Structure 1
């Protein structure tokens, strides 16, 4: 009989639907039960997805011996308390981002997991998807030479147009850098390693946002956190480049992430997604081909059939497999802590007007083994 790892879900809100859909096709996950402070939510998820147990309290879930991994997908300000309780109960934990709202709380979770000898993992896990794994292989195999610089861009018009409860995203623990920024920062760590120093400027462009999603249509949100953040990252490797994150832009033609090497340029796929075909342009030998950025030099796209299609929950699956195989997992709390440290350092740099050294570091995650194939040029 194939071994499966029991998962207990804490938090049955909007994002739980995506996880539960993903778990349908992931072989190592057995969702044994769920809990939400709103019992109507947990009952609804159990009915739709055939979950056998609906716990009345968090303590009831944590006392269930069939729960090996606690999937913490509660609101961000609750992450610390739920993860702390689960670790103290001797459970492995996979948390949605951020690991915790503050460095102190996040560090306590990392230390507690080590003391309890259990595993702590944290989203995002999209760097395990085909787009970013192919990008990693292209870099590691030297297709663009040695990385020199990078450019990273997340530009959107905010979340109030589609999210059922968008106010949090404009509160003190929200904003584009803490919301979507972790996808981009984790992707950059996967590609280029840890960040050593940051500089930044930021602003609140609109003091008020009007909700147009149907659940709270017409309601107004007071904006309490910067929504346009322009930063510069200096990596331990020496690579430097901009990271722009904003909720204030209606349209853009900028790429998601580009890495500029001594022999070419890599353009990656959307770090918020699992799939996609990254592209490279290798420089010619003559000076003209290297200097004329507008010249029509072909880009080559790559794909792979080795990886699971993009599904939320892949990181939980990878954690479950690592537990069964007794090996380190890839979606580590070490990376998540460094991502939080970078994001908070960017906020501090913008406030102080000075460079800020990032105190933490981490190790690049082990890449997946895959083969890649160049697609025909269009």
Structure 2
């Protein structure tokens, strides 16, 4: 299987534990070092992982052992850390979104191209059996020609449970930039790139109150839209209706539905790797669950990093920077449309990521 890819992680916040567990169980990845502004937090994060060094960011970037930097910082710091990794000659894989703005993301990709290193980005949930089985059903013609889709995420907001939710309500956050990457990446994976968007947005409160942790009861400012809706016009002609909200109590709407001329699919939550794909054809009286037919089985956050690391040189990774930039461009353009009241043409594009065959692990080619 060759030598494992050595990973250095910058940012040891809440999401890092999920990545560490996945890296620990995949033989093609090796966690060698972590860095965080809070070194005590970094030490605690890797306390149960023997042999992992705790370094400063500068030390980690200079460490010749590290092949790829896993960037788990807050969105506002994604570009800064990624550019440092690129300047050090290392591949970089970011937590979503790729950057706080498309302009920053573009700088990252241009720098990576000039340095001949690669950029990858979450979400990798679309590589699991849920979205991949739905994609195979579409590609196999089970719903006929796709016509429309809906994607819905309605919650009261993350301040109820997250002890430090400030970044969710700052530039680079909000329901669209936080959760939208899962949904838009899934829609692009299922239906291809987006050509035009039409949006609307609102902001119901100027502040939010933290509901847990040592800062419980503290108010934080809201500087982003907290309810965003719109239509994505895919290059294929499919129309996807998107609703992302931190202003609702709950919803019974499926996370994603895809409708074709001959049938409809319910697609599992794109924030998870698996789940039942439901199919109802024209004339059917109900829904039937499809067996898992594609995707990584039992995957966890970090499987996209392994897929990225094992992608041959010259081939775009499934969780690659081009896809992540297009998704960010779509979301940023949707907000621009909401504020201008006019449709916005998407200047970027990407290929649909290669499908994932039904596998039980990520293996290098």
**Range of TM-score over shorter length:** over 0.9
The correspondence for 1:300, drawn from 289, 301, 308, is 289
- 1:263 corresponding residue in structure 2: 262
Aligned residues: 359
Residue 176 of structure 1: SS of its match in structure 2? Answer: helix
Q: Does 1:171 align with 2:170?
A: yes
- 2:98 corresponding residue in structure 1: 99
Q: Find the aligned partners of 2:300 and 2:71 in 1 and give their Cα distance.
A: 17
The offset of 1:206, in angstroms, is 2.3
- 1:26 corresponding residue in structure 2: 26
Q: Find the aligned partners of 1:146 and 1:238 in 2 and give their Cα distance.
A: 11
The offset of 1:327, in angstroms, is 4.7
- 1:49 corresponding residue in structure 2: 49
Q: Find the aligned partners of 2:295 and 2:182 in 1 and give their Cα distance.
A: 22
Q: Find the aligned partners of 2:306 and 2:4 in 1 and give their Cα distance.
A: 10
Residue 291 of structure 2: SS of its match in structure 1? Answer: strand
Q: How does 1:139-178 map to 2 (within 5 A)?
A: 139-178=138-177
Question: In 1, are the aligned partners of 2:86 and 2:112 still within 8 Å (CA)?
Answer: yes
1:169-220 alpha-carbon deviations (Å, 9 max, x no partner): 1123311000000000000110001111111111112232221113321111
The correspondence for 2:301, drawn from 301, 304, 312, is 312
Task: Give the CA RMSD over aligned residues.
Answer: 1.7
Q: Find the aligned partners of 1:300 and 1:283 in 2 and give their Cα distance.
A: 16
- 2:9 corresponding residue in structure 1: 9
TM-score by length of 1: 0.91
**CA 1:259/1:306 → structure 2, altered by over 3 Å: closer, same or farther?**
closer
Structure 1 stretches of 5 or more lacking a match?
290-295, 372-378
Question: In 2, are the aligned partners of 1:273 and 1:310 still within 8 Å (CA)?
Answer: no
Q: Which moved more, 1:272-281 or 1:300-309?
A: 300-309
The offset of 1:359, in angstroms, is 1.1
Q: How does 1:244-263 map to 2 (within 5 A)?
A: 244-263=243-262
The offset of 1:275, in angstroms, is 1.0
Q: Find the aligned partners of 1:195 and 1:215 in 2 and give their Cα distance.
A: 42
Question: In 2, are the aligned partners of 1:159 and 1:166 still within 8 Å (CA)?
Answer: yes
The offset of 1:263, in angstroms, is 0.5
1:302-341 alpha-carbon deviations (Å, 9 max, x no partner): 3248623131110111112225x87542111001111111
Residue 212 of structure 1: SS of its match in structure 2? Answer: coil
Q: Find the aligned partners of 1:259 and 1:159 in 2 and give their Cα distance.
A: 27
